[in-house]
Structure 1
């Protein structure tokens, strides 16, 4: 059970209790007749959202029967909700505080713990069963990312920081078991065993292999002309990580294979831009804030400062769907649940236009979209 004190976020309840298997249906469709009367799928808002901009979203792994969603935000909080897969309704479970804005969260592989990386230079482990927290990692500057690595011969927490280091931690000991110095501050990181990709300030990219002992295997410069903002690893048909998608502040995504068979396999495409030009003859270009690959289809989602999400088929090099009516704030981050039925996206200000465009009347939101069919690859026939 969630325990260890009171919480204002929600009532503690059983964590990990088995649930009956429920077939996925459209959110909001309480019965077939209602579904026919209201064919338009609507996105469901997560209850009790954060009070400040949302920096990260992560669904629980498929190793547990329920669906939980974790969000970290700039109000120094990490929140947990349980999601009902058949209705899209959410129940706040608990939350924990850091002493600085939260920049990243990740789950342990068995789904019993959450790691929280913060601007307070620390990473803490939240044990969901006991609702207790302990510090497990430390840097000399804000911690940008945290990822749990489960290898056949070791498990470790991988963290990156603006102190220009990558560190691996055995969470039972106070000092890192391995550390890499990188040339600049870490801006974006993704891990999909046995690959890790780290994007640093100044357009540098570093690729690591994590099997046996983690080792750096390649350095390269971003194919994008402007600063990258997000990175996401993709897999081949044998379920092996083979490359990554990189998003930049200039409304562009690069698809990069680590070892391309042909040079043309690597390409870039434009996204999160206005249709046409404004009265002054300029096109509005927005930052790509996050990229995630669908766990079943291998297609991808991008979200941007234009308040839209877009779904793409990289192999067919085509757009599958876009949010036609943008939300009234940027979309800062997104996540798919373990079986790819639910797409979560956070609506909150990303400060891309500066403080003069910040409107305190516009509150952050987290929305859930039933997405499985939307992400199916394009029929290549």
Structure 2
């Protein structure tokens, strides 16, 4: 007699998925919430465990990135010219990176409940594809396989400038959670 063993389910399809390519997805550090940005001009918030769409936010332009600040606030970057073709966002301070080369630091609290406050603008050698933040380190990956490492407390010049060892263009960079290094993906 043979027995049939079922394989564990390693993933599942979400209810109400985006209708176009997914540009990014991020899990909350505080819950089972999942944030999904898409080229269909939407940002969707899911309860991943219950597989429930909790909210959908539509924009005029395609969405390039998203992240959680906490479970009650989230950030997204759109190509609708409201934030100027931003490609990547990370939190701590809100740090945005743009295809027109600068990275910008913002105070997410704003001033007296107004718009977010721009803290600084920092030119990059090329269009920015990805950035990642851990502690006080910001790693920026740009066109031309440039990788710059900054100290958030002094963004005026990179601590390190290097060329990616990858054969192809870097599309994504992520810092190790303990701050000891980073990983690049082509």
Query: What band does the TM-score fall into relative to the shorter chain?
Result: 0.7 to 0.9
CA RMSD of aligned residues (A): 1.9
Provide the C-alpha distance between the structure 2 equivalents of 1:111 and 1:223, rounded to a whole number of angstroms: 36
Write the mapping of 1:143-182 to structure 2, written as runs, cut at 5 A: 143-149=86-92, 156-171=93-108, 172-173=110-111, 174=115, 175-182=117-124
Provide the C-alpha distance between the structure 2 equivalents of 1:121 and 1:106, rounded to a whole number of angstroms: 19
Equivalent position of 1:131 in the other structure: none
Aligned counterpart in structure 2 of residue 106 of structure 1, from 63, 67, 86: 67
For residues 144-203 of structure 1, give each alpha carbon's deviation from its aligned partner in whole angstroms, at most 9, with x where no partner exists.
011111xxxxxx210000110010112314551111011110012111222111111111
- State the shift of 1:37 in Å: 7.5
Provide the C-alpha distance between the structure 2 equivalents of 1:161 and 1:82, rounded to a whole number of angstroms: 30
Aligned counterpart in structure 2 of residue 231 of structure 1, from 161, 173, 180: 173
Aligned counterpart in structure 2 of residue 191 of structure 1, from 109, 133, 143: 133
Equivalent position of 1:47 in the other structure: 15
2:183 is the alignment partner of 1:242: no
Provide the C-alpha distance between the structure 1 equivalents of 2:162 and 2:137, rounded to a whole number of angstroms: 15
- State the shift of 1:106 in Å: 0.7
Q: Is the 8 A contact 2:141 2:147 kept in 1?
A: yes
For residues 272-319 of structure 1, give each alpha carbon's deviation from its aligned partner in whole angstroms, at most 9, with x where no partner exists.
xxxxxxxxxxxxxxxxxxxxxxxxxxxxxxxxxxxxxxxxxxxxxxxx
Equivalent position of 2:34 in the other structure: 69
For residues 11-49 of structure 1, give each alpha carbon's deviation from its aligned partner in whole angstroms, at most 9, with x where no partner exists.
xxxxxxxxxxxxxxxxxxxxxxxxx97541123211110
Write the mapping of 1:282-297 to structure 2, written as runs, cut at 5 A: none
TM-score, length basis structure 1? 0.44
Provide the C-alpha distance between the structure 1 equivalents of 2:5 and 2:48, rounded to a whole number of angstroms: 22
- State the shift of 1:75 in Å: 0.5
Q: Which structure has the larger Rg over C-alpha atoms?
A: 1
| Runs of at least 4 residues off by over 6 Å | none
For residues 191-244 of structure 1, give each alpha carbon's deviation from its aligned partner in whole angstroms, at most 9, with x where no partner exists.
12221111111111111112x444531111111232111111124xxx3x1211
Provide the C-alpha distance between the structure 1 equivalents of 2:151 and 2:160, rounded to a whole number of angstroms: 9
Structure 2 unaligned runs (5+)?
Answer: none
Structure 1 unaligned runs (5+)?
Answer: 1-35, 123-137, 150-155, 249-381
What's the secondary structure of 2:100's corresponding residue?
A: coil
What's the secondary structure of 1:45's corresponding residue?
A: coil
Aligned length: 177
Q: Which has the higher strand share?
A: 2
Write the mapping of 1:308-323 to structure 2, written as runs, cut at 5 A: none
Provide the C-alpha distance between the structure 2 equivalents of 1:55 and 1:94, rounded to a whole number of angstroms: 18
Equivalent position of 2:43 in the other structure: 78
Provide the C-alpha distance between the structure 1 equivalents of 2:89 and 2:155, rounded to a whole number of angstroms: 15
